[in-house]
Amino acid sequence: MPTRIYEAAQNGNPQAQNDLGVFIAKGEGVPQNYEVAAYLFNEAANEGNTDGIANLAQCFAEGIGVEKNLGSALELLNRIKSLRSNWAKQYIAVKRTYDREQQNQNPFFLVKITDYAESMLAGTIYMRPISDFWSLENSDEAMQNSYRGDNMESVTETFDDENIPEGSHFFRDVFHRNADVRFGNAAQRDMLLSQNMIYSMSILEFDRASNGFILPDKRIASFGKTAVIIYDCNEFLKRVTAAKVLKCGYNSWMSFKRVKYNLDFNKNQSYNEFCKESSYAWQKEFRISIDVSQGKLNKKNWEQTTDFVRATSGIGYNPNIPEQLSLHIDMSDISVSMPVSDFLELKDFDKLPIRKFIPPPYTEMLSMEREPHITVYTPMITLKDDEEKI
């Protein structure tokens, strides 16, 4: 190891600190010591040295000299992923592992319970805006059942009167305007988010411990008469992504992953369109979400905003945002169908042409970062006496 690197590192040179850490991690010319190497990478990273950031991220990703922490690795790689292609690839690889561990998922098949199986098997995927799922009065008859109508869809924040966001004068006025009314907690719904096109499916989990599939909840029979089982999930998602690019272009935002059932009016936390209340956990939903709005309100949401909001918020308007989105892919070699009554019991499941996909391979999730946009929020409030949402 060159003496000049050691001396420069001793004098606080960030690049030298990183280079010294590399020598120590490899044991080249000095005793190998992962803890000291990680310390030096951290010192270099704290000064903004990109090599130090990358090496420290690798330490966190693999547990080298520090306790393994994929979240910390992602935060570091997110700072430098745009600078080099190998760092971008490293970020993607760590993100996939992080998503998988976060969800602690069993491998699974994707299943669409539907009354329109023929159309889906022919390759047509119909996507609707999130708002259709909390505003049933604006939805067609096919969506009307007791298990839809989740008015917490597209909520991005829940908080109580002691944790109101800075600058949220509306909630401050509401909570304190009338001492006789016992307000509970509050939430805000993102109107731009409510326009995202989503495609929802259930998952059929494979329990590796018992080497068998977990029986689905019988309530999903409410969604349709036929179960379309997608047994090559990764190929399906690749084809949907390609179809999205053809339809919407490369710049349109897209993500797909399992839904988390962590949305709680009694907690102070943030959410996205992949969060729902725990009462829906039996659905085991996997969701594809595409943003076709490009930071603009659609006709329906624009008409619901006040002139004051239009004039002061800077939010844009696009009357041509579609009311639904249809994608076309080949489903013939990656899916099968069966009556939902048979599916609930997994009847004759071993006779389906899916043997080579059992146990299912792990499904890769996609979590794209969003471009920041001006948006409009609508409020939701509970009353403490009866927990009524208003």
- Say yes or no to pLDDT of 13 above 50: yes
Q: Is residue 97 in some structural domain?
A: yes
Residue 322, pLDDT > 70, answer yes
In the 8-state DSSP scheme, what is residue 323? Answer: S
Q: Domain end: 54, 88, 103, which one? A: 103
Model confidence at 245, in pLDDT bands (50, 70, 90)? very high
Residue 17 has pLDDT above 90, yes or no: yes
Tell me how far the alpha carbon of residue 174 is from its chain's centroid: 32
Is the confidence at residue 59, as pLDDT, over 70? Answer: yes
Q: How many domains does the chain have?
A: 2
What is the per-residue pLDDT across 164-212, written as a single tens digit (0 to 9) for each?
555 455 555 555 555 454 556 778 888 888 899 999 999 999 987 888 8
Q: What band does 282 get if pLDDT is binned at 50, 70 and 90?
A: very high
Which of 179, 230, 173, 168 is CA-nearest to residue 378? Answer: 168
Q: Who's near 122: CB < 8 A, 6+ residues apart? A: 331
Percent of the chain exceeding pLDDT 90 equals: 40
Do 92 and 129 share a structural domain?
Answer: no
Count of residues in the chain: 390
Confidence of residue 354 (pLDDT cuts 50, 70, 90): confident
Q: What is the CATH number of the domain that holds 9?
A: 1.25.40.10
Q: Which domain holds residue 188?
A: 108-383
| Averaged pLDDT for residues 95-116 | 82
Co-location of 226 and 324 in the same domain:
yes
Task: Confirm if 213 and 202 have CB atoms less than 8 A apart.
Answer: no
Q: Are residues 197 and 63 in the same domain?
A: no
Max CA-CA distance within the chain?
77
Q: Edge-to-edge strand order for the sheet containing 155-159?
A: 269-270, 155-159, 183-190, 377-383
Q: Is residue 284 part of a domain?
A: yes
Helix (H, G, I), strand (E, B) or coil at 113: strand
12 and 37 in one domain? Answer: yes
What pLDDT was estimated at residue 286? Answer: 95
Tell me the per-residue pLDDT of 250-275, one tens digit each, with 9 for 90 and over. Answer: 878 999 999 989 888 777 778 889 99
Residues 99 and 163 in one domain: no
Tell me whether the omega of the peptide bond preceding residue 31 falls within 30 degrees of 0, making it cis: no
Is residue 389 in some structural domain?
no
In a domain, 373, yes or no: yes
What are the backbone dihedrals phi and psi of residue 319, each rounded to the nearest 5 degrees, phi first? Answer: -70, -10
**Strand ranges for 97-154 from DSSP E:** 108-114, 124-129
Of 283, 288, 239, 285, residue with least CA distance to 127: 288
- For the whole prediction, is pTM greater than 0.85? no
